Amino acid sequence: MSLSIAEKSYLFDSLSSAQALRPDGRLPYQFRPIEIYTDFLPSSNGSSRIIASDGSECIISVKSKVVDHTVEKDLVQVDIDIAGERDDSILVESITSLFNKIIDTIDVSKLQLTQKYSFKIYIDVLVLSTYSYPVSLISFGIYSALNSTYLPKLISSFDDLEVEELPTFHDYDLVKLDVSPPLIFVLAIVGDNIFIDPAFNESKVANNGLIISWSQGKVIAPVRTMALNNTYVKGFKPSLVQEGIDLVNKYGQDIVNALV
Amino acid sequence: MSDTKVKFPSRSIPGQLLCPVYAPTEPKVTKYTAGPGTKLIHYDANNLDVITSTRIGHVTVSPVDVEGKDDNDMILMQVSVTSDEKNDKTNSHSSKLLPKEGDVVLCRVIRISLQRANVEIIGFQNEPMPIDGGVGTNGHSVVGVNGGSGGSTFSMSQSSSDLGETFRGIIRSQDVRATDRDRVKMVDAFKPGDIVKAQILSLGDGVNYYLTTARNDLGVVFAKSDNGAGSLMYAMDWQTMTAPVTGAVEKRKCAKPF
Amino acid sequence: MNVQDRRRILGPAGAKPLVFANAEAKEDKTVKEETQLNKNLSISLQRGIISNANGSSIVETSGISLLTSVYGPRSTRSMSFEPRATLNIILQSNKFDTSNLKEISNFLISVLQCCVCLEKYPKSGIDLFINFNIEDEDELVQYIPIMIMSCMIALMDADIEVSDIIGGLTIDHTAVCLGQNGDQLLGLWKDPSSDEQDALVLNETIAKCQEQYSSSRQQLIEFISNC
């Protein structure tokens, strides 16, 4: 799928004008409709399937393992697979690196079982199809998957420093995992305008992209710029960064409310 | 150019603003166009279209001849930046980086078919090749499975690194000679391994440049007899070559040597 | 001759036989300059070191040395016609994991795409290899300014057209890349850090970088206009 020069020029002009008009009539802060299904993988602790209106789709599975947290420091690990991309391609590796950085902002004390042991969470992401930069979709999927994750209930004692025993779990009782995973918003900058959730055609004419992370009501790091195409890339007004952050601060909570 | 108000620096560095597109000179307005080594950009700070330098070198301003169009309203000037001659010690400077339309190049025939000859471009006429011409990274570093610039495009290059890759070209049978172009037999014009002087017709498709030898001074310049097994041959006329040792005569579309 | 045959490692164009005796004397060609950074940190810039690369640069400052080489524009094996060049950057270091390095190189590509005149090199690819050696491991974000600087020198050494000399600065774990006299933001990189404030405000950081931008770019301009 590619756009002609005339199509791109039309899109750029309408998106960069003072009264910006998005091709699908959305407001600058409006998302495209998404469908989310959760808890559909029987062998995972939590799972989700997220489908964007353009047909981008991604499935996420959350699995857990009991580890000694004095040995294993890294308690959450994200692994991303994108259909049609090699595992070591620059796209896959940089998205994986971004998610492993942002997932480190999760409060890992929620995963602690006993004084010695913790759950280690493995988040496996498979992007089945994607038409624009998929980080927003993936982060929404991870959010829903973690919010539908149930882990076995601990029945042995918390204090196990002195005793040599492994944690034991209840046969069928499960506890809901209570972490508040951060979200990632992708914003496209076209001219002096900024838009949340750029679609494929909007990404193709964006002068630059902003990746903004959000957690518990406020914007957090990592924040970075990212070229969304290789033809229209150029610099932009520095004040647009703060504008984007303010936009996410203002509408982030509404978007999260819509997710659950 | 005493009538232009714009002061041009003698040397420029990338990003240096050279002039606005329109300069209010008397009696006519001057319009500058961006030539080689410069680029037209929009400067947001003062909302102006300006010409900026894109390389280190000397600034030259020359009038543009507009054929057939008598533009009385404006003086047309072209601004360009050429690389410094004194910088040539590293040899990368002033070398041509890419083949472009109209260039005369040297190429080696890779294979021939009834319709075309596939060639690889090995050099430019009167221009040094870029230092890395056709040798890739030459083992300088391990290119990842999708490393190298080819990696970001979906192609077979994702499976290998970039050894000995040069630009490729095609000489179509109708571009071999200027006369009787429909009856060209490729086997009588080129053989694999021949070194051919050709001119670039167009950038062609994704893979190949389109080349032509339809000129007296274009065609095979070096060829070995017996499909490369024999010795170097000399052109006898524009379509035969002979090997001085064995006396063998072979058909080629030869370039006029002098 | 068959197509697979051409995949052999060919010698570089105009290769000469090995001469060991004069190997060191050839280093004289390089242009070298020492300038003072505003933090009283001396930085050494060199260009044209790698003999088989189109352009190269070495940027050295205390505890870090960056070697950047530019190959291309050269043919890509893309099947469709690309009207512009493809820019590619590969970072190499044994101190960081590859996904981290690839994320940074992805960012650097984004930034450099703003200034390299890719439309002047149709159908081709430009590859930059950045090798870096460091003494003590710091956050990768600290090295973004110096990486951009070495890329700019190497690109200009290769005579690849760039529309602007861009500069980067790192303040409070935030790397900011600016162009057009600091009026335009080309790249911003902020990683999570331990000293996280309540609300993320980047305006001040960007403003600080804009103030320091011209002085940080000055040494690069001095270097390239002197050689």
CB contact under 8 A, C186 and A235: yes
Which of C 131-160 lie inside 8 A of B, CB atoms? 131, 156-160
The Cα–Cα gap between C56 and B89 comes to: 14
- Strand ordering across the sheet containing B17-20: B17-20, B48-53, B38-43
Q: Report the relative pairing of strands C174-179 and C167-171 from DSSP bridges.
A: antiparallel
Which residues in chain A are closer than 8 Å to C200, comparing Cβ atoms? 218-221, 223, 245
Q: 10 Å Cβ neighbour count for B96?
A: 18
Closest chain B residue to the Cα of C126, Cα to Cα: B149
pLDDT at residue A119, as a whole number: 94
pLDDT at residue C123, as a whole number: 85
Closest chain A residue to the Cα of B149, Cα to Cα: A90
- Any chains having at least 3 CB pairs less than 8 A from chain C are A, B
Closest chain B residue to the Cα of A85, Cα to Cα: B154
CB contact under 8 A, B44 and C183: yes
- Any chains having at least 3 CB pairs less than 8 A from chain B are A, C
pLDDT at A95 over 60: yes
Helix (H, G, I), strand (E, B) or coil at B112: strand
C106 shares contact with chain A (CB less than 8 Å): yes
Closest chain A residue to the Cα of C89, Cα to Cα: A90
The Cα–Cα gap between B201 and B193 comes to: 22
CB B106 within 8 A of CB B156: no
The Cα–Cα gap between C130 and C87 comes to: 13
CB contact under 8 A, B92 and C157: yes
CA-closest candidate to residue C66, choices C176, C145, C172, C162: C145
Residue C193: which pLDDT band, with cuts at 50, 70 and 90? confident
Chain A to chain C, count of Cβ pairs less than 8 Å apart?
116
CB contact under 8 A, A227 and C200: no
Residues of A with CB under 8 A from a CB of B: 86, 88-90, 237
Residue with the bigger pLDDT between B49 and C35: it is B49
Q: 10 Å Cβ neighbour count for A172?
A: 7
Which of A 200-239 lie inside 8 A of C, CB atoms? 208, 210, 218-227, 230-231, 233-239
Query: pTM value?
Result: 0.87
Instruction: Give the model confidence (pLDDT) of A114-143 as tens digits.
Output: 999 999 999 999 999 999 899 999 999 999
The Cα–Cα gap between C126 and C25 comes to: 30
C106 shares contact with chain B (CB less than 8 Å): no
C107 shares contact with chain A (CB less than 8 Å): yes
Chain centre distance of CA B71: 32
The Cα–Cα gap between C72 and B135 comes to: 10
Q: Which of C28, C86, C132, C159 to mutate to test the interface with B (most CBs of B within 10 A)?
A: C159
What six digits make up the tokens of A81? Answer: 């697979």
Q: Which of C47, C76, C91, C132 to mutate to test the interface with B (most CBs of B within 10 A)?
A: C76
CB contact under 8 A, A101 and C192: yes
CB contact under 8 A, C190 and A101: no
Which residues in chain A are closer than 8 Å to C109, comparing Cβ atoms? 227
Local structure of residue B184 (DSSP, 8 states): -
Q: Exposure pattern of C28-50 as b/e (b: 16+ CB <10 Å)? A: eebbeeeeeeeeeeebebbbbbb
Pick from A96-100, B249-253, C36-40, C44-48: least confident: C36-40
Which residues in chain A are closer than 8 Å to B152, comparing Cβ atoms? 90
B45, B54, B144: residue with CB nearest C117: B54
Backbone φ and ψ for B193, nearest 5 degrees, come out as: 100, -15
Pick from B45-54, C15-24, C156-165: least confident: C15-24
Q: Report the relative pairing of strands A76-82 and A117-129 from DSSP bridges.
A: parallel
According to DSSP, the residues that pair with A65 across neighbouring strands are A120
CB contact under 8 A, C188 and A94: no
A113's CB contacts (< 8 A; 6+ apart) are A66, A119, A154, A158, A167
The Cα–Cα gap between B133 and A217 comes to: 55
Mean pLDDT for all residues in chain B: 79
CA distance C198 to chain B (A): 33
Pick from A148-152, A239-243, B51-55, B93-97: least confident: B93-97
Inter-CA distances, B71 with A192, B66, B75, B79, C128, Å: 36, 8, 8, 19, 45
CB B10 within 8 A of CB B18: no
Residue B153: which pLDDT band, with cuts at 50, 70 and 90? very low
CB contact under 8 A, A88 and B158: no
CB contact under 8 A, C188 and A104: no
The Cα–Cα gap between C191 and C214 comes to: 25
C13 shares contact with chain A (CB less than 8 Å): no
CB contact under 8 A, A242 and C202: yes
A254's CB contacts (< 8 A; 6+ apart) are none
A93 shares contact with chain C (CB less than 8 Å): yes
Which residues in chain A are closer than 8 Å to B158, comparing Cβ atoms? 86
Residue with the bigger pLDDT between C62 and A122: it is A122
pLDDT at B93 over 90: no
What six digits make up the tokens of B109? Answer: 């025939």
Residue C9: which pLDDT band, with cuts at 50, 70 and 90? low
Go through the domains of chain A in sequence order and give each one's CATH number: 19-259 (3.30.230.70)
CA-closest candidate to residue C39, choices C58, C60, C61, C57: C61
Which residues in chain B are closer than 8 Å to C69, comparing Cβ atoms? 140
Residue A173: which pLDDT band, with cuts at 50, 70 and 90? very high
C-alpha angle with apex C6: C1 to C9, nearest 5 degrees? Answer: 140
C3, C129, C159: residue with CB nearest B97: C159
Q: Which of C74, C84, C110, C219 to mutate to test the interface with B (most CBs of B within 10 A)?
A: C74
Which residues in chain C are closer than 8 Å to B54, comparing Cβ atoms? 117, 120, 161-163
Which residues in chain C are closer than 8 Å to A204, comparing Cβ atoms? none
Instruction: Give the model confidence (pLDDT) of B190-239 as tens digits.
Output: 999 999 999 999 998 888 999 999 999 999 999 999 888 889 999 999 99
The share of chain C scoring above pLDDT 90, in percent, equals 26
CB C181 within 8 A of CB B52: no
Farthest-apart Cα atoms in chain B, separation: 74
CB contact under 8 A, A94 and C106: yes
- The CA R_g of chain C, rounded to the nearest whole Å, is 19
pLDDT at B135 over 70: no
What six digits make up the tokens of A147? Answer: 């919010």
CB contact under 8 A, C103 and A104: no
Local structure of residue B252 (DSSP, 8 states): -
Which residues in chain B are closer than 8 Å to A88, comparing Cβ atoms? 144-146
Which residues in chain C are closer than 8 Å to A249, comparing Cβ atoms? 199
Residue C95: which pLDDT band, with cuts at 50, 70 and 90? confident
CB contact under 8 A, C9 and B138: yes
Q: Which residue has the tokens 């006429």?
A: B125
Closest chain B residue to the Cα of A89, Cα to Cα: B146
Q: Which residue has the tokens 């072209």?
A: B78
pLDDT at B87 over 50: no
Closest chain C residue to the Cα of A101, Cα to Cα: C192
CB B140 within 8 A of CB C54: no
Residue A6: which pLDDT band, with cuts at 50, 70 and 90? very high
The share of chain B scoring above pLDDT 70, in percent, equals 77
What six digits make up the tokens of C12? Answer: 């570089």
pLDDT at residue C39, as a whole number: 47
CB B94 within 8 A of CB B37: no
CB A244 within 8 A of CB A194: yes
pLDDT at residue C65, as a whole number: 92
- Any chains having at least 3 CB pairs less than 8 A from chain A are B, C
Q: Which residue has the tokens 């010695």?
A: A116
